[in-house]
A and B are shown apart, each in its own frame.
Chain A
Amino acid sequence: MKITVNGTPTDVQGTNLAEILIELGHADGKLATAVNEEFVPAAARETLSLAPGDRVEIVAPRQGG
Chain B
Amino acid sequence: MPEFYGTTIESAMMLGTAQYPSPAVLAEAFRRSGAGIATVSVRREAGGDRAGQDFWNMVRDLGVAVLPNTAGSHSVREAVTTAKMARELFDTPWIKLEVIGNADTLQPDPFRLVEAARILSEDGFQVFPYCTEDLVLCEHLLEAGCKVLMPWGAPIGTGLGLNNIYGLRSLRAHFPDVPLVVDAGLGAPSHAAQAMEMGYDAVLLNTAVAKAGDPAAMAEAFAHAVRAGAMAYAADPIEPRDMAAPSTPLIGKAFLA
Contacts and interface: CB of A to CB of B under 8 A. Distances in A.
Best-buried of A6, A26, A58, A65 by chain B (most CB within 10 Å): A65
Given A24-B47, A62-B51, A42 B17 contact: no
Given A26-B47, A34-B81, A60 B88 contact: no
Best-buried of B16, B44, B47, B55 by chain A (most CB within 10 Å): B47
Contacts of B41: 61-65
The majority secondary structure among interface residues of chain B is mixed
A26 B45 contact: yes
Interface size of B as a range: 35 or more
B138 interface: no
Contacts of A31: 45, 52, 89
Interface residues of A, number: 25
A32 interface: yes
A29 B40 CA distance: 17
Interface string B195-216: 0000000000011000000000
Q: When A and B form their complex, which 7 residue pairs have the shortest distance between CB atoms, in order from nearest? A: A60-B52, A64-B41, A25-B47, A65-B16, A65-B206, A32-B85, A60-B45
